[in-house]
Amino acid sequence: MIRLAYFTPADFDQLIAWVHDEYLLTNWAGSLFRFPLTRDSLEWYLEDTNDLEKSDALVYKAIDEASGETVGHVSLGSISRKNHSARISRVLVGDTQHKGRGICTEMIRAVLRVGFGELNLHRISLGVYDFNKSAIRCYEKAGFVSEGVQRDILRYGDEYWSLREMSILSHEWKAMQ
């Protein structure tokens, strides 16, 4: 089982160690950060976050309850209280030893509990690069539906990456509970 806890400066070094190359950084965060990831950029990333009542972004570390080990990172941002919507971003299962164990799906389900259960949102969306098949499977298992593809949205080296848009609505999430 995965438990979410707010991501804090005490967690910076672990995230920096996980995001060890430019490709992984770009896949994880798009063009939000430049490689290498630094403590200063993470300080900026956390500004005005993690107040459930006021912030427009909640940034979490994912903790495996059985071992107590931090195994991932996820953010719920673009929180619009007016539109009752938000966007999941920067989903990362840390060490490769944890991949393929269902941690991503558990992380997403935990974030959905916050969004729909605590914030009473109506819609939660996300974007995933279309080549990231394991992430797409994770999101589909959690109940997300594909809405379309933004073609060639990001340039990485000599290639362009397309972004698949996905979402889940509160009544769809409730039906899965």
Assess whether pLDDT exceeds 70 at residue 98: no
Q: Look up residue 3 and give its amino acid.
A: R
DSSP 48: T
- Cα 80 to Cα 41, 60, 65, 120, 122, distances in angstroms: 24, 18, 30, 11, 10
What digits encode the pLDDT tens for the residues 58-74? 999 999 999 999 999 99
At residue 95 the predicted structure's pLDDT band, cuts being 50, 70 and 90, is confident
- Given a contact cutoff of 8 angstroms between Cβ atoms, the answer to whether 105 and 168 are in contact is no
Give the C-alpha separation, 75 to 73, whole Å.
7
What is residue 40's three-state secondary structure? Answer: helix
Packing angle, helices 103-112 and 133-141, rounded to 10: 50
How is the chain split into domains, by residue range?
A: 2-124
What digits encode the pLDDT tens for the residues 111-151? 999 999 999 999 999 999 999 999 999 999 999 999 999 99
The owner of tokens 């941002």 is 77
Q: Look up residue 96 and give its amino acid.
A: T
Sheet holding 58-64, edge to edge: 2-6, 58-64, 70-80, 85-93, 123-129, 159-169, 145-156
- Given a contact cutoff of 8 angstroms between Cβ atoms, the answer to whether 119 and 86 are in contact is yes
- What's the rounded mean pLDDT across residues 71-78? 98
Asked: is 2-124 a CATH 2.60.120.200 domain? The reply is no
Give the C-alpha separation, 53 to 79, whole Å.
11
- What's the rounded mean pLDDT across residues 154-162? 97
pLDDT at 100: 73
The owner of tokens 């916050």 is 114
What digits encode the pLDDT tens for the residues 19-56? 999 999 999 999 999 999 999 999 999 999 999 999 99
